[in-house]
Structure 1
Amino acid sequence: MPAYHSSFNEEPDIRQVGNMSILPIKSKYRGPAPTADPAQADCIDEALDLFRANSLFRNFEIKGGADRLLIVLILFVSDCLAKIGSARSVPSQIEATKMLNTLAVDNFPVPGDANFSLNAHYAPPASRIDAEQLRQYLTQVRQELAARLIERLYADGTGKPSKWWMSFQKRRFMSRSLGT
């Protein structure tokens, strides 16, 4: 059974930086991301929906720039779950929000950087300006992804993260990690 791919691979007129798509998102954070239609799912919703199914796969055939973004988002979700799981005690929703927001804005490698773990699959940005825009875009996307992940983790109202999500904290998509 093949892994699930991004439905945004066939979208026309999507800007590419390197070979990663810059997709529109619904965000409450400021940044360079294009604004998505609030009535439709965006790439962050898709990453959260596909995370658990795709994290079971060791191989993933990249079919476009949106798949490259999906890989980065899935690996970031995995890092977020590992961060919450590594806390000394079970964090409350407020504590988890702080932890993940800090993780989202921390300095992280982008494609083309020497310590980016997936450089073999990603083309570096064409210029420093593109690299900086990609970093700003990914920061905005990571912040929004962390906020939506917290909403799903703590949706049951018990004040504890969902065991159905936390059971994936040690599982690594493509046996990789972003190293954050």
Structure 2
Amino acid sequence: MRLGYTIAPGRGETNLLLAEIAGQLAARGVRIVGTVQIDTDRSDGHKCDMDVQVLPEGKIIRISQDLGTASRGCRLNAEALETAVADTEAALVEGADLLLINKFGKHEAEGRGFRGVIAEALARDIPVLAGVNKLNHVAFLDFCGEQAEELPANTAALKTWLDEVLGTTDPDRQPGGVHSK
């Protein structure tokens, strides 16, 4: 069982990093299931809209909700997030080389969200790569224990780890170490 995670220092940087990695892996034929987050700035100056793209098919789900200008509550639309979780669970059953989760956030820290999907992937011996929110780092480690391997928040480090766990160090190799030629 391999479980890697990364925490990028700036707001939204983990989302961009994981989306880039997902795109590169998909182009190489790696079967990825999970989610990447897409943040869209709003013209009204309020916090960005948050969407997740469910991998591999690309369905986009808005996971944020507009609570109004004076609100201070959590903007996460839990029902929408659970839809992304269900779609990811269904894709995982079909088979995967990697589970990629955009963020182990507050929802997961509270025992919901992608926790079950992560556990299922690990039980199936499917490697997991997750982004982790700094605020929920301790909860993530409590959930994963010593299994979790922290990875530097840069493309090169993530690619090196992924090549190792997927057996794809040679660009002509397919996941699992099977040559395409």
Normalising by structure 2, we get a TM-score of 0.25
Higher strand residue share? 2
Q: Which has the higher contact order (CA 8 A, sep 6+)?
A: 1
Normalising by structure 1, we get a TM-score of 0.25
